[in-house]
């Protein structure tokens, strides 16, 4: 049924695999939240381990629409012996003007799409693509992929190097009731990603000022600079120690003089 015209996509089987790809990073990208929604609300597994859809892509549920694979980022689909053909469908475009049913995606997936236009391309960059048997829109999901729009590419062009097959076992792991969205996002957070804070108004986004940004991304001092800084700090500590000693002596002398004066006055 499937003929690949390029090397098979890398497969995501663990949280670490997902982190290594950088999919959904950095915020405000929505790919990780989209994947969590897909695993927990869009599909379920039957007793045979088959992944079944809980919506109708051909009807456009949740913004699902046909994916033509024109860039050939996925294997080419062929007909089977019964002349049936599989099809690709994608979901994750948050533009409700183009895909009105995308409004039915949960708020946690859509929440950052209200940011300013400067960030909207990043907020709507990620996609999930599924492979289905034609006419079996609520049947088995034959394969699941995550992908993203290509930086500097043409309109709607996806990046073949950032397209990954998702192992069904991994999707079942994401369905673990003890995981939850917050824990999933925490476990998939890359250590080098700066967390962004948002104002209460969705259209206004707070970001670090230039000084804060410089401090966050500042590289370590070179050895010569570090030595100079250490010497300066040591000199400062020495001056502080000497000042403290002088102050202590003055305080003791003043106390002695005061007590002496009081003693003399007491005898008068």
Domain locations along the chain: 2-193, 233-268
pLDDT of residue 191: 58
**What is residue 87's three-state secondary structure?**
strand
pLDDT of residue 202: 36
pLDDT of residue 216: 34
**What is residue 149's three-state secondary structure?**
strand
Place of tokens 């069904």: 168
Tokens of 122: 């990043």
Largest Cα separation within the chain, whole Å, is: 124
pLDDT of residue 185: 94
Closest CA to 63 of 126, 105, 124: 105
DSSP 8-state secondary structure symbol assigned to residue 251? H
pLDDT tens track for 249-265: 677 677 777 777 677 76
Identify whether the C-beta of residue 158 lies closer than 8 Å to the C-beta of residue 73. Answer: yes
Distance CA(163)–CA(149), nearest Å, equals 10
pLDDT of residue 194: 39
Distance CA(251)–CA(262), nearest Å, equals 17
Bridge partners (DSSP) of residue 177 are none
Instruction: Tell me which residues of the chain have a pLDDT lower than 70.
Output: 1-9, 79-84, 115-121, 134-138, 152-155, 190-249, 252, 261, 265-268
């Amino acid at each position: 049924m499937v003929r690949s015209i390029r090397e098979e996509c890398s497969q995501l089987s663990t949280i670490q695999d997902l982190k290594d790809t950088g999919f959904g990073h950095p915020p405000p990208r929505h790919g990780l939240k989209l994947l969590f929604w897909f695993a927990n609300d869009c599909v379920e597994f039957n007793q045979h381990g088959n992944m079944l859809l809980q919506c109708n892509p051909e009807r456009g549920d949740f913004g699902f629409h046909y994916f033509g694979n024109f860039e050939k980022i996925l294997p080419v689909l062929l007909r089977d012996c019964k002349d049936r053909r599989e099809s690709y469908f994608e979901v994750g475009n948050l533009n409700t003007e183009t895909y009105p049913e995308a409004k039915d995606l949960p708020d946690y997936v859509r929440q950052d799409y209200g940011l300013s236009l400067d960030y909207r391309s990043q907020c709507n960059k990620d996609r999930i693509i599924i492979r289905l048997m034609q006419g079996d829109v609520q049947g088995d999901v034959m394969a699941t992929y995550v992908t993203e729009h290509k930086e500097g590419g043409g309109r709607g062009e996806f990046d073949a190097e950032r397209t990954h097959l998702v192992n069904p076992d991994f999707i079942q792991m994401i369905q673990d009731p003890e995981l939850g969205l917050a824990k999933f996002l925490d476990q998939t957070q890359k250590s080098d990603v700066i967390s962004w804070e948002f104002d209460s108004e969705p259209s206004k986004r707070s970001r670090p000022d230039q000084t804060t940004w410089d401090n966050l991304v500042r590289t370590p001092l070179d050895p010569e600079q570090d030595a100079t800084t250490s010497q300066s700090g040591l000199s400062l500590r020495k001056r502080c120690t000497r000042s403290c000693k002088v102050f202590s002596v003055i305080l003791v002398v003043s106390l002695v003089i005061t007590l002496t004066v009081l003693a003399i006055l007491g005898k008068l």
